[in-house]
Amino acid sequence: MSTDRTRLLQYGDAVGIPATRLQYKPLRDPRTAERRDAWHWDLGGPVYPPLDERLLSD
C-alpha cells in the first residue's frame, strides 16, 4: 500500500507487473481521520502460477 502512485508504477514496470493490476483504495489517516489516496497491487488471479499438486501434503 502506498500513497505514491508514481513510485508503485515504476516498481511494477521494473518487476513486470502490469499497471492494470494497480488498484485505488483510499485509506483513513489515523493521525487526522481524513481519507488519503492510496494504491495497492492486486496480485491474485493470473499473476500467480497454477497450483502444483505435487507440493500439497497428503
* Structural domain spans, the chain: 5-44
Tell me the per-residue pLDDT of 18-49, one tens digit each, with 9 for 90 and over: 898 899 999 998 899 999 999 998 877 665 66
According to the model, what pLDDT value does residue 55 have? 72
Handedness of CA 28, 21, 15, 46 (dihedral sign): positive
Strand 22-24 and strand 39-41: the pairing is antiparallel
pTM above 0.75, yes or no: no
- Judged against a pLDDT cut of 90, whether residue 17 lies above it is answered with no
